[in-house]
Amino acid sequence: MIRFDKVNFSYGKKEILKDFSLNINDGDKVCFFAPSGFGKTTLLRLIMGLEKVRSGELSGIDDKKISVVFQEDRLLPNKTVLQNIELFADTEDIPSVIERLGLSDAQDMYPHALSGGMARRTAIARALCRQADIYIFDEPFNGIDQKNVEKTAEIIREVTRDKTVLLVTHDRDQAEILGATIVDISESM
């Protein structure tokens, strides 16, 4: 269980999280919802160990394997789509994930040649091909056209079935299609 216990966090003098408490059970699907600047991405960064809490306690993440789709695609520019996925993969399902995400024809292409939607799907494929305990998705459907959102969501749901999923999105519908419970963090502070 991931447990935030009266966690405080600030960037310089700007207070982001104040006495924030939340419990997330293993296998939960949670969508952090709040207006901009309320620390949704900060929460994810704390869980990923990219930021440290200033005070309070964050537990349950130390021995957890995490896979992530950041708000930006963060693809390695000198690697092809396939290489970007393989580099972090520990599953044999790569060809199937690539095919289902409609990346078969693009697997030998470099990131600069990809459309926004393809790059996003590559980032998702990379995350899904890593067997993790916690899957983190920050605005995962950015740049993906509506036609592909449902298809992509279906694969995400399938791969992350028994896993903890943490999601940040501005779109409640997207949280719904991923089967995530919405947690309004502005109310938790």
Partner 1 sequence: MISTMQAKFKKALFTAGSIAFWILLWHMGATLANKELLFKIPLPLDTLREFFTCVKTLEFWDSVGTSLWHIVSGFVFAVILGLFCGLLSGSSTFFATLTAPLTRLIRAVPVAAFIILAWLWIPSEIIPAFIAFLMVFPIVWSHVETGLLSVDKRLVEMARVMGMDKKGIIKNITIPSVMPQFRVSCITGLGYAWKSGVAAEVLCNPTGSIGAMMSQAKSNLDYSRVFAIVLMVVLLSFILENIIKFFWKERTA
Residue 130: CB minimum distance to partner 1, A: 6
Fill in the per-residue mask, 88 to 127: x = in contact with partner 1 (CB under 8 A), - = not in contact: x---------------------xxx-------------xx
Write out the binding residues for partner 1, residues 23-62 only, by CB under 8 A: 48-50
Question: 108 near 81, Cβ under 8 Å?
Answer: yes
d(CA 187, CA 189): 6
Of the candidate residues 9, 17, 39, 67, the single one contacting partner 1 (CB under 8 A): 67
Of the candidate residues 55, 78, 91, 181, the single one contacting partner 1 (CB under 8 A): 78
d(CA 30, CA 138): 12
**10: Cβ contacts below 8 Å, ≥ 6 apart:** 16, 17, 54
Handedness of CA 114, 98, 102, 107 (dihedral sign): positive
65 binds partner 1 (CB under 8 A): yes
Residues that bind partner 1 (CB under 8 A): 48-50, 65-68, 70, 72, 74, 76-79, 87-88, 110-112, 126-127, 130
